[in-house]
């Protein structure tokens, strides 16, 4: 469902959580808070004086279309703003990105801006090493056009805006129409279609829940499934609630699929590999996985793509991907230049190009009116519906303990599906571990 080593389709779960790599004690965020080398700033927007400035953008768009598109957008920005130089500091994956940001921040040399997940930003904000962006957003003409879910995702639980949007996605179902004539509309229909399609060497759905140190796409699928059955696995404040009825029903659903022979656990994007290899009927993955799934399928069949099925309590989806944080130690000239660049990246024209080039979704409604996006949507109709889900898709709460808590959930999925524990027992054990992680982070 997600990419473990490539950032592009990491929007199912190793998106947020393969990144749980914690740096050594000397490089933790407690060490990169307010200190003699830390310049803490308020949210007043520095004036754009046109002074020359060099800014650094630490990011994980290091390969494929993501690297090419970001490089082009950055060059175009610098061509229009010759007084500003943007240095892209790409990292091979999100885990490395997190470690590098932490290390440089602890050393007193943070980047000007960086891709961040909400749980990282929670720690950065607590350590006062990033700048709140409420005043920035208030003066932006773009903000009003952002989807509701995007605006919510820019905030931390203190209600303040700490991030600016960048690469965003939701999950869709990819399917082989030769095995599944029509995309299931409900999770009951999905289970029935998966059971029918599973025969011989075909197991309809393969997924990777990950592990305690790196939850993956299967964990994201479980979280979406639980919400569609009545309960989010985390409360709005980040409190784990793994033993709620919706979570138990979701786990029982997966256990039954395994017993029916229609679910298999694997690693390294097993859904994509099985779909492309003809041994699977579905892959539940992010919209940013589309070019990868197309490549895997080749000319074997015409890839089907549709919205996720709905559950007994309605439809649900998960908003994934990163935002951009502005680091406080930057000079006023660097902050002004970075803010100009951040707005350029989310301008309707650039967002339309970014979406059409990478498969990520545009963060604003205005971008959908751009010719580039309209042409892309005409070729890939599912993108329009997926984009509108940015108003309702639920992001994981931006709390520091979410990674560890979700790691416990990944272990519960492994235990229940593999039959070493009942759904309730596996989730109870995960709840206990997750609560300890939460208390340890507070």
pLDDT digits (tens, 9 = 90+) for 352-395: 999 999 999 999 999 999 999 999 999 999 999 999 999 999 89
The reply to whether 265 falls in a domain is yes
The arithmetic mean of pLDDT across residues 274-293, rounded, is 95
The reply to whether 7 falls in a domain is no
User: Is pLDDT above 90 for 78?
Assistant: yes
Verify that 39 and 161 share a domain, yes or no.
Answer: yes
pTM here is 0.87
Verify that 175 and 154 share a domain, yes or no.
Answer: no
Verify that 331 and 435 share a domain, yes or no.
Answer: no
Verify that 104 and 135 share a domain, yes or no.
Answer: yes
The reply to whether 138 falls in a domain is yes
Verify that 308 and 328 share a domain, yes or no.
Answer: no
CATH number, domain at 329? 3.40.190.10
Q: Distance between CA atoms of 311 and 316, rounded to whole angstroms?
A: 8
The reply to whether 2 falls in a domain is no
Verify that 18 and 100 share a domain, yes or no.
Answer: yes
Among 30-34, 125-129, 336-340, 342-346, the least confident range: 30-34
Handedness of CA 329, 350, 138, 398 (dihedral sign): negative
pLDDT at 16: 36
The reply to whether 345 falls in a domain is yes
User: Is pLDDT above 50 for 25?
Assistant: no
Q: Distance between CA atoms of 378 and 363, rounded to whole angstroms?
A: 19
Domain that holds residue 208: 171-317+401-441
Q: Distance between CA atoms of 252 and 187, rounded to whole angstroms?
A: 13
pLDDT at 279: 98
Total domains in the chain come to 2
User: What is the average pLDDT value for the chain, to the nearest integer?
Assistant: 90
Verify that 408 and 292 share a domain, yes or no.
Answer: yes
The reply to whether 4 falls in a domain is no
Contact (CB, 8 A) for 232 and 241: yes
For residue 295, give the nearest of 277, 280, 309 by alpha carbon.
277
Q: Is 121 exposed, middle or buried (0-12, 13-18, 19+ CB in 10 A)?
A: buried
User: Is pLDDT above 90 for 348?
Assistant: yes
The reply to whether 207 falls in a domain is yes
Reported as a single tens digit per residue, the pLDDT across 191-202 is 999 999 999 999
Verify that 288 and 339 share a domain, yes or no.
Answer: no
User: Is pLDDT above 70 for 15?
Assistant: no
Contact (CB, 8 A) for 263 and 205: yes
Reported as a single tens digit per residue, the pLDDT across 189-234 is 999 999 999 999 999 999 999 999 888 999 999 999 999 999 999 9
User: Is pLDDT above 60 for 19?
Assistant: no
Verify that 86 and 69 share a domain, yes or no.
Answer: yes
Verify that 101 and 142 share a domain, yes or no.
Answer: yes
Reported as a single tens digit per residue, the pLDDT across 98-126 is 999 999 999 999 999 999 999 999 999 99
Q: At what angle do helices 402-417 and 423-441 cross, to 10 degrees?
A: 170
User: Is pLDDT above 70 for 9?
Assistant: no
pLDDT at 191: 98
List phi, psi (to 5°) of 280: -140, 155
Verify that 237 and 222 share a domain, yes or no.
Answer: yes
**The token pair that represents 378 in the structure block:** 């005409």
Q: Distance between CA atoms of 169 and 284, rounded to whole angstroms?
A: 13
List phi, psi (to 5°) of 220: -60, -45
The reply to whether 386 falls in a domain is yes
Segment 196-200 long-range contacts (CB within 8 Å, at least 24 positions apart): 197/262, 197/281, 198/260, 198/261, 198/262, 198/281
For residue 274, give the nearest of 215, 209, 217, 205 by alpha carbon.
205
Verify that 182 and 159 share a domain, yes or no.
Answer: no
């Amino acid at each position: 469902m997600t990419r473990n080593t490539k950032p592009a389709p990491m929007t199912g779960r190793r998106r947020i959580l393969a990144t749980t790599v914690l740096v050594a004690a000397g490089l933790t965020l407690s060490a990169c808070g307010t200190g003699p080398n830390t310049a803490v700033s308020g949210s007043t927007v520095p004036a754009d004086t046109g002074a020359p400035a060099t800014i650094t953008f630490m990011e994980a768009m290091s390969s494929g279309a993501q690297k090419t598109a970001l490089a082009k957008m950055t060059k175009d920005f610098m061509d229009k703003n010759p007084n500003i130089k943007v240095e892209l500091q790409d990292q091979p994956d999100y885990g490395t990105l997190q470690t590098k940001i932490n290390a440089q921040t602890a050393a007193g040399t943070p980047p000007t801006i960086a891709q961040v997940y909400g749980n990282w930003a929670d720690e950065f904000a607590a350590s006062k090493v990033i700048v709140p962006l409420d005043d920035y957003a208030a003066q932006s003409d773009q903000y009003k056009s952002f989807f509701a879910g995007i605006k919510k995702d820019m905030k931390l639980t203190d209600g303040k805006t700490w991030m600016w949007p960048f690469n965003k996605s939701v999950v869709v179902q990819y399917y082989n129409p030769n095995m599944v004539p029509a995309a299931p509309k409900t999770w009951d229909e999905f289970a029935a279609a998966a059971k029918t399609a599973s025969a011989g060497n075909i197991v309809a759905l393969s997924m990777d829940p990950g592990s305690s140190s790196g939850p993956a796409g299967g964990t994201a699928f479980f979280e979406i499934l639980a919400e569609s059955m009545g309960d989010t696995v985390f409360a709005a404040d980040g409190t784990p609630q793994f033993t709620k009825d919706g979570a138990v029903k979701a786990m029982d659903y997966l256990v039954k699929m395994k017993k029916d022979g229609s679910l298999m656990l694997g690693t390294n994007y097993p859904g994509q590999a099985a779909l492309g290899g003809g041994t699977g009927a579905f892959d539940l993955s992010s919209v940013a996985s589309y070019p990868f799934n197309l490549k895997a399928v080749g000319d074997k069949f015409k890839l089907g793509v549709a919205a996720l099925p709905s559950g007994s309590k309605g439809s649900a989806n998960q908003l994934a991907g990163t935002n951009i944080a502005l680091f406080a130690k930057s000079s006023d000239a660097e902050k002004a230049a970075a803010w100009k660049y951040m707005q350029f990246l989310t301008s309707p024209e650039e967002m339309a190009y970014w979406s059409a080039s990478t498969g990520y979704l545009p963060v604003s409604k205005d971008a959908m009116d751009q010719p580039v996006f309209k042409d892309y949507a005409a070729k890939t109709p599912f993108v329009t519906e997926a984009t509108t889900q940015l108003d309702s898709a639920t992001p994981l709460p931006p709390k520091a303990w979410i990674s560890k808590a979700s790691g416990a959930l990944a272990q519960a999925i492994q235990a229940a599906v593999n039959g070493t524990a009942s759904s309730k027992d596996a989730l109870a054990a995960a709840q206990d571990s997750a609560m300890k992680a939460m208390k340890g982070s507070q």
